[in-house]
């Protein structure tokens, strides 16, 4: 029977903290958890959750994942703890690592997450920063693997803002050898260092394409993925971004240019008739709610490895 292996790195701050084999191992474990073929006991283990931004899926899927493993979670509300009053991260991290066995953090600046990891003596998980959303990418590729059984010849097209979700897709896609195409407006491209890093991992420039034309990007693709145009923390840019992203809505026209068996993914929350039409969102091709469920299975797998 498959067992969780210890990961080479103590933290999961970036998709790049895992090797290809480790991603495949986590996806394998997640599949076993999902099919109730694996029972791991993490009783007495405590996951601390810090959310400086809102969350439904990440918060609840971590809570349920930990409960299913026999452990518990503490959801630290920044506004009712000293975190919101400005206690230094290095102090909070040192205190929490004396109570908790692992800490998942959602915050704005990725450097703040790294500061937690620097001072914590327990594993730190990225539950989303402005730069990356690596837990989301694990669930995304689990959903893709369920659909296509392996990653060979799968083309994943992301249409939207090249920020956290796109960045993690690029990196995890490179580790798994999945061809990734990003269609974004000018000025909203993914992180250039990640593009460079992904191309080094692929050892093939053509496996990652960045374009400003959604039609070129979706042509023949197997997975069409989109995300909100205005991310958390960008509420004041909404009007401007709605204008800039005009033409980047995932609609039936774009879907018609993809492979006929293409599936639709969205990390959620979704804004209908902005980044995706209701028709596409609700279509038979959508695997959006499988993807949301997979957050929980992938995180059960991740937690089992980090705490093994």
Positions marked catalytic = 106, 133, 136, 227, 267, 295
Name all contacts of 112-120 with Cβ < 8 Å and 24+ positions apart: 113/13, 114/13, 115/89, 115/90, 116/50, 116/89, 116/92, 117/11, 117/13, 117/93, 118/90, 118/93, 119/89, 119/90, 119/93, 119/94, 120/93, 120/94, 120/96
- Helices then strands, counting H and E runs in the chain, come out as 12, 9
Report the relative pairing of strands 223-226 and 124-126 from DSSP bridges. unpaired
Residues within window 177-196 making contact with ligand NVA, judged by CB under 6 A: none
**Smaller CB separation from ligand NVA, 97 or 136:** 136
Which of 248, 231, 162 is closest to 198 using CA atoms?
Answer: 162
Q: By CB under 6 A, tell whether 50 contacts ligand CP.
A: no
Cα separation, 275 vs 273, in Å, equals 6
Residue 152's Cβ-count burial label (10 Å; 0-12, 13-18, 19+) is: exposed
Q: Locate 76 and state its tokens.
A: 């630290």
- Smallest gap from Cβ 127 to ligand CP, in A, equals 8
Site for ligand NVA in 275-304 (CB under 6 A): none
Which listed residue (14, 15, 31, 58) binds ligand CP by CB under 6 A?
58
**Nearest residue (CB) to ligand NVA, 119 versus 281:** 281
164 touches ligand NVA (CB under 6 A): yes
Residues 97-136: x/- map of binding to ligand CP (CB under 6 A)?
A: -------------------------------x-------x
Residue 126 contacts ligand NVA per CB under 6 A: no
Q: Which CB sits closer to ligand CP, 57 or 274?
A: 57
- Among 14, 15, 231, 304, contact with ligand NVA (rule: CB under 6 A): 231
232 belongs to the binding site for ligand NVA (CB under 6 A): yes
**Shortest Å, Cβ 163 to ligand NVA:** 6
Q: Interface residues with ligand NVA (CB under 6 A)?
A: 128, 163-165, 227-228, 231-232, 267
């Amino acid at each position: 029977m498959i067992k969780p292996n210890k990961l080479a790195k103590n933290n999961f701050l970036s998709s790049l903290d895992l090797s290809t084999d480790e991603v495949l191992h986590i996806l394998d474990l997640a599949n076993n958890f999902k099919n109730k073929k694996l029972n791991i006991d993490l009783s007495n283990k405590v996951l601390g959750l810090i959310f400086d931004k809102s969350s439904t899926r990440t918060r609840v899927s971590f809570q349920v994942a930990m409960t299913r493993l026999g452990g518990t979670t503490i959801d630290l509300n920044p506004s009712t703890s000293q975190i919101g009053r400005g206690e230094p991260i290095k102090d909070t991290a040192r205190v929490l690592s004396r109570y908790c066995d692992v800490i998942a953090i959602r915050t704005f600046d990725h450097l703040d997450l790294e500061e937690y990891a620097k001072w914590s003596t327990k594993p730190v998980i990225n539950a989303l920063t402005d730069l990356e959303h690596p837990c989301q990418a694990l669930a995304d590729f689990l959903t893709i693997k369920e659909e296509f059984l392996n990653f060979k010849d799968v083309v994943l097209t992301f249409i939207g803002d090249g920020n956290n979700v796109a960045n993690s897709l690029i990196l995890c896609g490179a580790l798994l050898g999945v061809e990734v195409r990003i269609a974004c407006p000018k000025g909203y491209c993914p992180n250039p260092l990640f593009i460079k890093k992904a191309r080094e991992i692929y050892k093939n420039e053509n496996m990652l394409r960045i374009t400003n034309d959604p039609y070129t990007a979706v042509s023949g693709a197997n997975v069409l993925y989109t995300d909100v145009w205005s991310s958390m923390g960008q509420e004041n840019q909404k009007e401007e971004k709605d204008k800039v992203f005009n033409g980047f809505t995932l609609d039936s026209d774009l879907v018609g240019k993809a492979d006929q068996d293409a599936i639709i993914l969205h990390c959620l929350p979704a804004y209908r008739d902005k980044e995706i039409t209701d028709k596409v969102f609700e279509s038979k091709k959508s695997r959006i709610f499988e993807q949301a469920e997979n957050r929980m299975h992938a995180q059960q797998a991740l937690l089992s490895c980090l705490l093994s």
